[in-house]
Amino acid sequence: MPSTLSAPAEQPWGAVHEPVPAFGGDPDRGRHRLPKQRSGNMGSSAVIGVAAMAATLGTTGFTSYAATTSAEHADEAHETAFAEATDPGLALAARIQAQADSQRTAADESARLQAAREAEAKRAVQEQAAAEAAAKDLVAKRAQEAREKKEAEERAAREAERKLLGTFAIPVSGYTLTAGFGQAGSYWSHLHTGLDFAVPTGTPVKALGMGEITSAGWSGAYGYRIIETLPDGTEIWYCHLSSIVQGSGGVKPGDVIARSGATGNVTGPHLHLEVRPGGGAPIDPRPWLQSHGLDV
């Protein structure tokens, strides 16, 4: 049976193939020998190694550069620290600079706080001044309002007084005229000096006009009498009263000042009324009353 010969296996590049000696041949040929070095193979290996190194450098070049730069910075920092450690002057300068920076920061913060305090104090002063001004204005306003109110009241009072000065009231109600001015009679020594209003005892007697009571009391034949003085000086006499209600002070038209009666020289209860301009001699009351708007 024919033998089958297989093709020799592919040898690695640069390997040396030695033929296996036949059994029983030269005994020296069976010993191990070192392969012979070939100059051509050595050259190729060197080329391959250089290429591999170049490829490696090509793929890691950037990383190597960055590492180198970082290392340089670390060296510089190390050198600086070393210089500070070995140079006392540089270390002192660094401490002085750090202290100056700290002091400057503290000064800036202090200035900021001081400015804030001053601003707050200024604001407080302004608010206080505004409050005081407002209070002062309020006091002045209220004082002005009080003055205006008082002036208005005084004007109203004067106006009312002017009106009252021209206002007169019949002194009694429900009367009957019994004796006129200048009438003769046995109950007075001379002619009658007034106007008699016959009314029941206790009838209210009212002030004829605006004036002031200047006299009140007993007056002989006139009985109980009140004298009212008007602003123009005219005196009004109210006579034969049973009682006096107001004996002094100012009165207005229609104010009750007394009660009618029959005191003094009389024949019955009535009001004897006299009008004496300027406090002098009496005049006829009836025309005077009519001239002041009173229909009697």
pLDDT tens string 34-54? 445 444 444 444 444 444 444
Same domain, 180 and 287: yes
Whether 49 is in a domain gets the answer: no
Same domain, 155 and 229: no
Q: How many angstroms separate the CA atoms of 242 and 260, rounded?
A: 5
Q: How many angstroms separate the CA atoms of 133 and 127, rounded?
A: 10
Whether 17 is in a domain gets the answer: no
For 33-42, 142-151, 178-187, 191-200, which range has the lowest pLDDT when averaged over its residues?
A: 33-42
Most confident of the following: 68-82, 87-101, 163-177, 242-256 = 242-256
Task: Please identify, among 165, 200, 215, the residue that sits at the C-terminal boundary of a domain.
Answer: 165
Q: What is the CATH number of the domain that holds 205?
A: 2.70.70.10
186 pLDDT more than 90 = no
**Where in the sequence is the domain holding 75, given as residue range(s)?**
64-165
Whether 2 is in a domain gets the answer: no
Whether 51 is in a domain gets the answer: no
Q: For the chain, what is the mean pLDDT?
A: 80
Whether 236 is in a domain gets the answer: yes
Task: State residue 15's pLDDT score.
Answer: 45
Confidence class for position 146, pLDDT limits 50, 70, 90 = very high
Whether 76 is in a domain gets the answer: yes
Task: State residue 83's pLDDT score.
Answer: 58
Task: Please identify, among 117, 138, 165, the residue that sits at the C-terminal boundary of a domain.
Answer: 165
Task: Please identify, among 146, 165, 184, the residue that sits at the C-terminal boundary of a domain.
Answer: 165
Task: State residue 280's pLDDT score.
Answer: 96
Same domain, 157 and 75: yes
Domain tally, the chain: 2
33 pLDDT more than 70 = no
Task: State residue 190's pLDDT score.
Answer: 76
More reliable by pLDDT, 235 or 1: 235
Whether 30 is in a domain gets the answer: no
Q: If you average pLDDT over residues 141-154, what whole number do you get?
A: 95
Whether 78 is in a domain gets the answer: yes
199 pLDDT more than 70 = yes
